[in-house]
Amino acid sequence: MNTPTIYRDLLLEHARHPKNSGRLESPDLQASAFNPLCGDELELTLSLSAGTIQDCKTQVRGCSICQASASMMSEMILAKTLKDAAKTSQIFTESLSKEAEEIPESLELLRPLIALKTHRSRIKCMKLAWDALEDCARQNET
Amino acid sequence: MQNFPLTVKAREDFPLLKRKIHGHPLAYLDNAATTQKPNCVIDALVRFYENHNSNVSRGVYTLAEEATEIYEEGRESVAKFIGANDSGKIIFTRGTTESINLVAAAWAQPKLKTDERILVTEMEHHSNLVPWQMVAQKAGAELVYWPITPETGSSDGGRLDLQKLDELLADSVKRKRSFRLLAVSAVSNVLGTVNPIAEIIELAHARGVPVLVDAAQAVARMPIDVSGWDCDFLAFSGHKIYGPTGIGVLYAKNERLEEMLPFQGGGGMIRQVGRQTSTWADAPQKFEAGTPPVAEVSGLAAAIKYLRNFGMQEIQRHEYELTTHALKRFAEFEDLELYGPPETIERCGVVSFNLRNVHPHDVAQVLDESGIAVRAGHHCTQVLHKRFGIAASVRMSFGLYNEIPEIDRLFSALDQAREIFLK
């Protein structure tokens, strides 16, 4: 891929050895996300304690970018409140827009993904796990 | 190396093929999605807007008459191209999808009864599947699948079995649950399988079942003969035969045309409009409400003329050689899973595969780095992909300008995908 090798290696490391992969047995929240363009799918399961994410797992059937994004997300959101995690997701979405120039400090971990944003066809791959996260946040509000 | 006089002649005609992608010459291998446009098609569009632009069938001034003539001549050239004996059976639409939706809404929906069924195949594109699901659901009717033969990669896998069709048809007669329609593609947009359309239609007609042929993939790849096939409906798109986007064709035979209700209401499709009710124009105008795509029709006619200059048989032979080469190369690699029949017989220039343990998106992205354009995804055939137990695949599909070295470049570039994702 047309990205600095260090980013590529980071992404591939996550894709090959995804963190928090699988499914929680009795999750408090669960959401699936689907990419209609390629048929990829992802399931996010979360356990909460007083609004804070205690544990999370993602079950991914997707490409390397989708898998890496899910893995990075799981590392970032653990021990955060679901509200804050959803906020991070929104900031991530903003940073993927064509106009966004700076990468916010809070998203430093996601730099290897954001570096790929010129490949607009892959945005949905990057976002799939985060879409499921935002879905969970919405469920928790209602 | 094979001698490809066709390619040598053709490549120069396509300005886009001169582009470089990431510093490499473009190898455009996504012709099943859409084809590139030759100069003559681009010129036809420009010529229309520069010299003849006006609305059709409405004015008596010179420009309006010219535009009408261009539009109706386009209809004539389409009729000749697909073997229709009368241009009155040619309806212009926005594309294959709209053509099929037109049949669904104007013919199938009003006729379909709860105890009837619609027969489709497992290899259909969503455009020849979803409209039938919608029609069936509305009527409370059943959608039945004609399964494809299993075991892709084996010589009899990924095909339609005529014996099975005969069984399905006989069973429906026995159960008194008749098929209102069989909707089938002439060529699979994933497997490249060329279906025996003439035999299929003969079998279906013997049981009184009308047949719609989705010719979206076939029409740029082989001669089409609606009269010889005796199909009831045939649909295709201009952009897949080197013509413009936004123009499609629906052919319907006379009996079906007479049965069809109007599709959309508006200008051009009426005979007389009263305050409460209206009467309809004759076909094909009855099905062409609103200002038609005149420029696009002039571009489509230019594309058809371009194809006829080469000859469809010549184009078919060219694709056959490319496909044979691609299939031969597949046999060299253990880690490539090929879908559909492994021999060129009953196949055309659409070849889908997976590199084991690498996601098709990742493969396609690495190929793009080498200037090779292929499609990755489910290619609008989720039912077919599920049948194979996969979510997605990589597809290369050939056009008349492709050459063997481009295919070889793809196989070499796959090494980079192996290097990145499997090292």
Averaged pLDDT in 10-residue chunks for chain B of 423 residues: 64 96 97 98 98 87 92 97 96 98 98 96 97 97 93 70 95 92 97 96 97 98 97 98 98 97 94 94 95 97 97 94 95 93 84 95 94 95 90 95 97 95 87
The pLDDT score that the predictor gives to residue A7 is 81
The pLDDT score that the predictor gives to residue B141 is 96
CB atoms inside a 10 Å sphere around CB A114: 17
Answer whether B321 touches A (CB < 8 Å). no
Higher pLDDT, B205 or A120: B205
β-bridge mates for residue B211, sequence order: B182
For residue B134, give the 3-state DSSP assignment. Answer: helix
Angle subtended by helix axes B312-330 and B404-422, to nearest 10: 30
What is the phi/psi pair of residue B206, to 5°?
-60, -25
The pLDDT score that the predictor gives to residue B128 is 98
Q: How far apart are CA B230 and CA B202, in angstroms?
A: 8
E-assigned strand segments in A1-104: 29-35, 40-49, 52-61
Sign of the dihedral defined by the CA atoms of residues A122, A125, A126, A127, in that order: positive
**Chain A residue with the nearest C-alpha to that of B393:** A38
**Chain B residue with the nearest C-alpha to that of A40:** B391
For residue B377, the distance in angstroms to the closest alpha carbon of chain A comes to 4
* Chain B residues touching A1 at Cβ < 8 A: 365-366, 369, 420
Q: Which of A42, A61, A63 to mutate to test the interface with B (most CBs of B within 10 A)?
A: A63
- Number of separate domains in chain A: 1
Q: Which amino acid is at B362?
A: D
**Do the chains contact at B377 and A119, CB–CB below 8 Å?**
no
CB-nearest partner of B365 from A39, A40, A119: A119
The model's pTM is 0.90
B347: tokens are 């196949």
**Do the chains contact at B378 and A122, CB–CB below 8 Å?**
no
Answer whether B360 touches A (CB < 8 Å). yes
What is the phi/psi pair of residue A32, to 5°?
-110, 150
Domains within chain B, CATH numbers bracketed: 5-30+312-422 (3.90.1150.10), 46-308 (3.40.640.10)
DSSP code for B3: -
Answer whether B385 touches A (CB < 8 Å). yes
SS3 sequence of B353-396: EEECCCCHHHHHHHHHHCCEECEEECCCCHHHHHHCCCCCEEEE
Q: Please report the residues numbered 4 through 23 in chain B whose beta carbons come closer than 8 angstroms to any beta carbon of chain A.
A: 22
CB-nearest partner of A63 from B22, B362, B385: B362
The pLDDT score that the predictor gives to residue B2 is 47
Examine the residue annotation and report whether B40 is marked as an active-site residue of this protein: no
Q: Please report the residues numbered 402 through 421 in chain B whose beta carbons come closer than 8 angstroms to any beta carbon of chain A.
A: 420-421
Q: How far apart are CA B315 and CA B31, in angstroms?
A: 13
Using 50, 70 and 90 to split pLDDT, how confident is the model at A39? confident
For residue A39, the distance in angstroms to the closest alpha carbon of chain B comes to 5
Domain that holds residue A49: 5-141
CB atoms inside a 10 Å sphere around CB A40: 25
Q: In what order do the strands lie in the sheet with B350-355?
A: B336-339, B350-355, B393-397, B375-377
CB-nearest partner of B369 from A1, A12, A40: A1
Interface of A with B (CB under 8 A): 1-2, 8, 12, 37-41, 61-66, 119, 122, 125
For residue B177, the distance in angstroms to the closest alpha carbon of chain A comes to 34
- Spatial CB neighbours of B326, under 8 Å, sequence gap ≥ 6: B351, B396, B407
DSSP code for B216: T
B245 to each of B239, B248, B342, how far by Cα in Å? Answer: 5, 8, 32
For residue A128, the distance in angstroms to the closest alpha carbon of chain B comes to 14
The pLDDT score that the predictor gives to residue B1 is 40
The pLDDT score that the predictor gives to residue B153 is 56
Which of these is catalytic: B40, B231, B348, B380?
B380
Q: Which of B24, B126, B352, B361 to mutate to test the interface with A (most CBs of A within 10 A)?
A: B361
- Kindly give the pairing relationship between strand B117-121 and strand B179-185: parallel
Answer whether B361 touches A (CB < 8 Å). yes
The pLDDT score that the predictor gives to residue B323 is 95
- Spatial CB neighbours of B55, under 8 Å, sequence gap ≥ 6: B64, B67, B291, B294
Q: How far apart are CA B155 and CA B346, in angstroms?
A: 10
- Output the CA torsion B406→B408→B410→B415 (10° steps): -150
CATH number at residue A77: 3.90.1010.10
Q: How far apart are CA B235 and CA B101, in angstroms?
A: 10
A53 to each of A74, B267, B270, how far by Cα in Å? Answer: 10, 60, 63
CB B250 within 8 A of CB B131: no
Among B415, B374, B392, B127, smallest CA distance to A125 is for B392
The pLDDT score that the predictor gives to residue A135 is 96
CB-nearest partner of A2 from B359, B362, B369: B369
